[in-house]
């Protein structure tokens, strides 16, 4: 796949660009995690370096389950970013009370159902400018 930086839709995940790089490193190991506020103890989704509840910028990492439930989904047929094959199923997967906007992979779009269980399947996307892999949260529905 060719890689066009000018239209790069993915976040910079490296430690030098992103205080949340740990999220992507863990995702690359197949683990879903998020931040827990060091001030009030709230877990956030998406991971945050600043707590909107109490204003603290102290946080620790906490693991989330690797499985959730399809809460909503839509199928995109055209106009996908470089490197994505159509059709692409975008979904909100509910994991431990958090609504995670993600992609469903390894699925026939006609067979996706609300309430279906889905397992974390991190999706490797375009390498960054230094050749490091980058990851997005994705899920594979069960059954």
Which parts of this chain interact with Zn ion (CB under 5 A)? 37, 39-40, 51, 53-54, 56
First to last CA, the chain: 30
Q: At its nearest, how many Å lie between Zn ion and the CB of residue 41? A: 7
C-beta closer to Zn ion: residue 51 or 107: 51
**Closest residue by Cα to residue 28 from 142, 140, 125, 143:** 125
Residue written as token pair 């979904």: 91
Cis amide linkage into residue 48, ω under 30° from 0: no
Q: Calculate the CA dihedral of residues 66, 68, 70, 74 and round it to 10 degrees.
A: -30
C-beta closer to Zn ion: residue 30 or 39: 39
Q: At its nearest, how many Å lie between Zn ion and the CB of residue 53? A: 4
C-beta closer to Zn ion: residue 55 or 133: 55
CA angle 81, 17, 126 (to 5 degrees): 30
Q: At its nearest, how many Å lie between Zn ion and the CB of residue 56? A: 5
Instruction: Return all residues near 44 (Cβ < 8 A) that are at least 6 apart.
Output: 34, 35, 36, 37, 51, 52
Q: At its nearest, how many Å lie between Zn ion and the CB of residue 4? A: 39
C-beta closer to Zn ion: residue 34 or 116: 34
C-beta closer to Zn ion: residue 20 or 107: 20
Q: At its nearest, how many Å lie between Zn ion and the CB of residue 101? A: 22
């Amino acid at each position: 796949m060719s890689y066009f930086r000018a239209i790069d839709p993915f976040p910079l995940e490296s430690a030098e660009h992103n205080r949340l790089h740990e999220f992507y490193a863990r995702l690359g190991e197949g683990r879903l995690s998020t931040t827990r506020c060091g001030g009030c103890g709230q877990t956030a989704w998406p991971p945050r370096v600043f707590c909107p509840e109490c204003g603290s910028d102290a946080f620790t990492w906490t693991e989330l389950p690797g499985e959730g439930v399809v809460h909503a989904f839509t199928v995109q047929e055209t106009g996908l970013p470089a490197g994505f094959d159509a059709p692409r199923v975008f979904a909100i997967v509910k994991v431990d009370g958090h609504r995670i906007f993600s992609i469903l992979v390894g699925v026939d779009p006609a067979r996706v159902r609300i309430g279906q269980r889905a397992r974390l399947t991190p999706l490797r996307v375009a390498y960054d400018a230094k050749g490091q892999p980058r990851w997005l949260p994705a899920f594979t529905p069960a059954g």
